[in-house]
Structure 1
Amino acid sequence: MSCLALSLQPANGSDILLQTREWFPPARALVAVSSFRETRLAFAASKQHHHTKDHPSSNSNSTSDPSADSIASLGDDPLSASSGQLIVGVESRYRVVYRLVNSIYVLGITTADHDNSINVFECIHIVNQAVSVVVTACRGVDVTPEKLARKYAEVYMALDIVLRGVSNIRLAAMLSSMHADGIAKMVHSAMDTENKIRGAESWRGLEGLAVDHEAGIAAFNHTAFELPPETIAAGDEVAASLAPVVQSEEKDQKEEEEESEAEKDPFAASEKINQPQELVTGFKKNKDPSATDLQLALSTLEVTTLPPAEATQSTHIAVEGFEGQYGGIEFGNEQASLNEAFEGFSDAWGGGLDASEFVGTKKVAKSQGLGGLELLQTGPDPPKAAGAAAAGTPLEDLVGKTEMKGPEMNIVEEISVEFRESLLARVALKGVVYLKTLPTKTSGDKETEFSFRVEGTSAVKRFIMQNSRISSLGNGMFHVRTAASDEPLPILKYSLQPRLTPLPLRVRLVQRHTGSLLSVMIQYVSNPELPAPLTDVTFVVKLPLDPTLLKVSPKAVLNRSEKELKWHVPEIPLNGPPGRLRVRMPVDSNEEDGGEEIDVVAYVKFSWQGNRSLSGVCLRPASEGMTDFYEVNHRYESGVYMCN
């Protein structure tokens, strides 16, 4: 141990206290303390004699006592500072670390370490802790023997604990209990004090919690939750009433009944997909199928025309991470840039809402639609517009037929989703608020100016606005002031938080590769909370290779150049049963690229137009009863809606 004893020695008078370790004799401690006193008094006498001497040469002879060496080792002005060290003793030498508090010396005694075996800094630390005890007992630095005598028992016990080593946490607790709770609190506050300061629990408290925890586990293990038979029977009746009745052939009806009995979860894997030999009866094992088999397999497929050769160049996209920098984007077509090869990909997942899109006076070409945000055309063209164009009716006449009563505003949203089987991997939704002012021919040079408020923004993650046309008034209020324009103007853009983004369609893709047969099934179900059912939905499956034979259910369109298979679903009901799209194709072992796993990716394209937005964001006038603007149909559409 570094510190062997602690002592309180006044400048004038007898020692107040001496505290030693059990195995260190107090007699040796008294020798060190008395040697320190003699050295101090001898130096004080020599210093006084030095100031009052008449003959300087007689000073060295007057101090030729045993402590002369110690006095010589003290330096120029020893013991005048408030702290220091001193080596005392002749045969048994001790190092005394001292601090002077008012007129009391606080001494720490240790051995003189010639071989550096003693940590002097630890002894200094213990002396500093003893000084804290003395100052606290005297309620200040005015330390006197009378004040120490009043708190002698507390000081004695505190120095005894400090001599054996305490942490700063327990020392603070001891000092706080010196004038309040007394010696009992000081002595018995070891473990509980440190546990409370560190935020830990004592074993006395943890033991009760552990017993309660084990008792709760045992109780739950022996608890059974059972439903009454009446409730189960009522649920079966309701489930039977919800099952659709489809009039078809006896074979198809039997298959649907078996699947409805076997599959309770709409996204559970079908057992039929593991029976390739029974379901695929038109395939032959040989690699050269006859013309009759080819004609029979392709009789229900509509083959589209071949695109130009530039469109068939492969594009490989590998995306990892979410809401960050997406690396690993590599394109086989080096002639095309990122935006040309896959337009809008970087905007779909995250980064989006770039305010620099508002900067500049370059007008958007009319062929690019509203602000470059294209509507994905999944259904046939409207016959009226086609007929009007064929008849040669000018576009100005068509616009003029629907006269505008005032400025119009609508919301266009784009949702991008990625499923991995039935799990949602990532989702992003971006919305744009468009303003359409009165035409320049009607309004002239008059500016459009009004205020509006945006509601339903609890799920919005970020808003940006075009400062040149719109300003924020706070609390969801905005003020618009802009010149007339013939084109719709994007004034607000926003994105939703991923966890609060509603999904219009849930998609699952399952594939099985058994032997030389690849089976793929897509299951989809609509969100029952949509404002209206989705119509004209297109499902696209990227095939891994050019198929020789295909069996699809229901009918689909095959594009051999793109290796794509498309299904067109006219309408998906809100509360209807899950839809299924199946495709089976033979895969030769030579075409598996060295036995690697075959990846199949499915894309979904849809759009909807109505009187409310998908995210719930709505536009309202600034005050009730005002018609500063007219709210037209909103629209939401699919961006990168995929499943792999």
Structure 2
Amino acid sequence: MACLAISLQPVNGPDVLLQTRSWFPVSRALAAVSAFRLARLHLARGKQQSASAASSSASLDAIGDDPLAAGSGQLVVGVESQYRVVYRLVNSIYVLGVTTAGSDHASPAVHAFAVADAVNQAVSVIVAACRGVDVTPEKVHRKYPEVYLALDLVLHGVGSVRLSQILATIHGDNLARMVNSSPDAEARARGADSWPAVEHLAQDRHAARDGFSGASFELPQETLAAGDESSSNIAPATTVATGDEPPPEEAAPVEKDPFAASDLINNKPEEALVGGFKKNKETALVVADPAAALAGLEVTTLPPAEATKPTFIGVEGFEGDYGGIEFGNEEASLAEAFEGFNAPFGGGLDASEFVTTTKKDHKDRAITGLELLATSGQPPNAATGTPLENLLVTKRTEMTAPELFIAEEINAEFKESVLVRVGLKGTIFLRTLPLNKAAGKETEFSFRLEGTSGMKRAALQSNVLSNLQNGLFHVRTVSKEEPIPLLKYSFLPKHSPLPLRMRLVKRHSGTLLSVMIQYASNPMLPQPLSNVTFIVKLPVDPTLLNVSPKAVLNRAERELRWHISDIPLKGPAGRLRARMPVDQDSKDGELEVIGMVKFAYQGPFTLSGIKLCPATEGIARFNEVGHTFSSGSYLCI
């Protein structure tokens, strides 16, 4: 019987660890360990005569005069269920190995050798964990997980090679490496391969042996007959013709080998095989009779000469003869190249998927629509000069208080129609009063920042702006000519609204490359985007180009630009298409095409929804001017 349980029992104090096999009850292991503790205490106090039945049987079965006083030994404990405990004292901790006592009490070492080996391995584990023989419960507790797992392996049996690896990795960083890295360590130490590694080789060898044993190499009769005929022709003639021999009998017709050479090659000389070809003085072959040489061959009819001439292509916005390919019906051909993509982004996709579904409440605005347009310039009663001067000169209201405005930049990257990454960053600027109006006074006021729930991080210019908590900020600075950046911030990707959703689709068929950009505006924008520029980076400088709608080609930069004056908030997705021939065939790999977009907005709203409010209701010590947001790196690959 192997070792059933391993325990670490200090001389004074509770047990440190008890590790048992899965099928051995823990209660019995605790009974054996507790009985050993009682026996040890009774024997240490010299009460062998008055010990209990468990300790009496232990003293009778103990080996030696005082076994527990020595550094190691064995002891049989228990009354009804007896167990043999093999122990070893290391500094102040007993390492105990528990097994059954056996039916033959006369031979106390029935199971002692198997358990003693496990106890010695456990001693090596705790000595390695404590980095020496100074073993204490405190040091064991520091490496308790490593000791627990190592003793579990020792309890189930390990060899010397694997034990050495466990001891070497007990102070490593990974417990799984100590437990799982050495199941085949002993096989590797002997230089042997594990059976799963070589099992497929044995299977391949058995399959090859079975295949060769069942293979037959019989030759067909036609091949044997051809070989006999060839050998008879090669053998020298042993008889001399005298003229009296009977005529040779005609051999029966034999079926010819389909793979044998033809009679034309076997019986005719080389000159006859040349046929209608003859050699000139320069030893070059010329055709004497082309019709005879091409007899029996299928000759493809060549197209007429007019088909090889280049065709003039008139592309809107371009001049010149691009030649070579004709685009007769550009609308139909472009629709065929992108069949199935007529719906916005292939159907079902909308730019509102990446923004919140709640609409912005604009009731807090004092003026909207025509009233804002009417009050954008000077008041009507303040206008002076002729009507022509009022039209040609842009007049601006006089600055009466410090001004705050926000400039934001949106960055996005699409892979076809999937949003790969997005980022929004912005800056709050302060424009102070001019030096002549400030009269040496400092600009000082407070404001409140709202709509910052999606903000990821922010940085303040501490010498100008102070954070008063709860969204309140205080500004104090001297007058300057240039706008002062007060606060820079960035938004979380999931809270960054997309003003424009775009998709790049390309089709490379043979040597023809077709590119299309689909775009749709965010319906939650305060007003439509205007003056938007779409840019496509072409892989090569095109010699022939077909675009829809009109575009501008920059051959130096190999860029194709579309200018869209206005993108509606709702409606079908817009499409920009281009087609061009390229030198590279579609079999040689994909061509890289990159789409970009540039846009800018200036008005009373921000893209992120952040608002600048006065610190106290009804009292605003600053003016809020038009905010801006623009595109940064807005790509589609």
For normalisation by structure 1, the TM-score amounts to: 0.46
Bigger radius of gyration, 1 or 2? 2
For normalisation by structure 2, the TM-score amounts to: 0.47
| Greater relative contact order (CA < 8 Å, ≥ 6 in sequence) | 1
